[in-house]
Homo-oligomer: A and B are copies of this chain.
Amino acid sequence: MTLNVVSVTVDLVLLTIRQAALQVLLIRRGIPPYPDRWALPGGFVLPGEDLGEAAARELREETGLDPQHGHFEQLATYGTPGRDPRGRVVTVAYLALLPDLPSPVPGSDAAGAAWRPAAEITPGELAFDHDRILADGLERARAKLEYTPLATAFCPPEFTVADLRAVYETVWRTRLDPRNFHRKVTGAEGFIEPTGGTVIRDRGRPAQLFRRGPATLLHPPLLRQPAPQAQSSRVGGTSRSSDL
């Protein structure tokens, strides 16, 4: 039997919403390979340490946050030979959605760390195959907002419907009708529950405060699909539905 010796690491896609933008925590590498390049935070899995534990430990080291402060899940595993010039490295990536807490400084043990707007990361900018990992994480986050209540993971314990809507608009890069959005989130069983309090954010009528509800799946889901046009019962295309 061939004994296959490999190094196993975890990488983290930490997402939060700051300054009305979806931001990802990146580390500035100080040493080769890829010196001075930005990379996802991560590190080796210690002997006797579970994969999720290792990821949680890295999360704590980088942000001072616990996984329970937001949402935390395994993303995918990357092991293409040559993805790390130092040798065969298999990386288990984790995805975290975090509230914009006054993080105790993102950087601690690295040359430099910073929240960077995800939209500004240009392809090829990150070290290793972290572009791909980040893209996978973003797509996962976008998709999960549709059918899970995970948008609340970006929010503090108490939030308004407008706060929640801002999360969707930021992550999906769309505009949503405030009235329809309000109807849908308050109508989805177990998504959010009122705390009783109200706040005035900036201007306008005070808004109710909510906390996350017990649901784990959204019913009905909040679809981001633009044109659900699919009824071609007869010839004579009604709309300009582009099924290209």
Contact = CB atoms under 8 A, between A and B. Distances in A.
Given A8-B8, A44-B1, A189-B238, A50 B79 contact: yes
Contacts of A7: 3-6
Contacts of A220: 228, 230
Given A6-B6, A243-B190, A219 B213 contact: no
Interface in A63-121: 74, 76-81, 88, 90, 92
A49 interface: yes
A47 B219 contact: no
Given A5-B5, A187-B239, A230-B220, A81 B48 contact: yes
A162 interface: no
Contacts of A46: 2, 4
A51 interface: yes
A236 interface: yes
A225 interface: yes
A19 interface: no
Most buried by B among A4, A47, A242: A4
Q: Report the contact-size class of chain A (Cβ under 8 Å from the partner).
A: 35 or more
A174 interface: no
Interface in A151-192: 186-190
A122 interface: no
A193 interface: yes
Interface of A: 1-9, 44-51, 74, 76-81, 88, 90, 92, 147, 186-190, 193-194, 213-214, 219-220, 225, 228, 230-232, 236, 238-240, 242-243
Given A1-B44, A190-B238, 18 more contacts: A2-B44, A2-B47, A5-B7, A8-B8, A50-B80, A50-B81, A51-B77, A51-B80, A77-B77, A90-B90, A187-B230, A189-B243, A190-B243, A193-B238, A194-B240, A219-B225, A219-B228, A220-B230
